[in-house]
Amino acid sequence: MLVAAAVCPCPPLLVPDVAAGAAPELDAARAACADALGLLAAARPDLLVVVGPDAETGPTAYAQGTPGSFRGFGVERDVTLGQARDGVVGTLPPSLAVAGWLLERTGWADAPIEGLGVGEPLAVDRCIEIGSGIAARTERVALLVMGDASACRTLKAPGYLDERAEPFDAEAARALETADLAALKGLDADLARELMVSGRAPWQVLAGAADGAALRGALLYEDAPYGVGYLVAAWS
């Protein structure tokens, strides 16, 4: 059963080495992510599953110790998903590499970790089904859910300005703040794709995992630096 969840954005800029001189601009987001992960640790899960957007439709599994890197962003900075292990194959997608950095930064050592990549085309029903399966894995499961809201909040945003972006993000933020599973399940996948929302599929995996768990939500951070919506939430 799902006992806790943290929702964090996944821009590589969250890693100070990548952001360089702009790093202070996301200090509040980093602090909120640390607080959310602290609540995960306090829940004492038997298993932590990290879910994030992936280039492949998926779901694609990543074992504990899978390596990731920010070298593609011009920084010689490597991470692993949890404690490094010999013989692990594969490479983390950027979203799970950011998660690996967050876990390393907060000193996570409380439970085994598994990673799961879900691609933007993954259907809503399939996301919910995957989440339900995760929750059934063991008695106490926690989720770290990575993903961004829309990338169309300003003229300089990656997707340019779209007037639909702010209302979409506001509804996603409300749903995460109140742990409104129906609202998360009801997020429009087509609209999310048009608004370049990377978090839609991971959030709907969370909604499937939380069925019957009666968790309460809290929104710890909401902003749109660089024209991209970033949300941090904690469910417990």
What single-letter amino acid sits at 226?
A: Y
What fold characterizes domain 2-235?
A: Protocatechuate 4,5-dioxygenase; Chain B (3.40.830)
- Global pTM reads 0.96
Residue in this structure with the two tokens 């979409």, named with its chain if needed: 168
Instruction: Determine what percent of the chain is predicted with pLDDT higher than 90.
Output: 87
Are residues 173 and 219 in contact, defined by beta-carbon separation less than 8 angstroms? Answer: yes
Phi, psi of 158 (to 5 degrees): -55, -35
136 CB neighbour count, 10 Å cutoff: 11
Report residue 85's pLDDT band, with 50, 70 and 90 as the boundaries. confident
Half-sphere exposure of 120 (CA within 13 A, CB side): 14
Cis peptide before 59 (omega within 30 of 0): yes
- Token code pair at residue 64: 């504990």
Domain boundaries, the chain: 2-235
Per-residue pLDDT of 145-197, as tens digits, reads: 999 999 999 999 999 999 999 999 999 999 999 999 999 999 999 999 999 99
Nearest CA to 117 among 107, 130, 136? 130
Whole-angstrom CA distances from 48 to 22, 64, 145, 155 are 31, 10, 10, 38
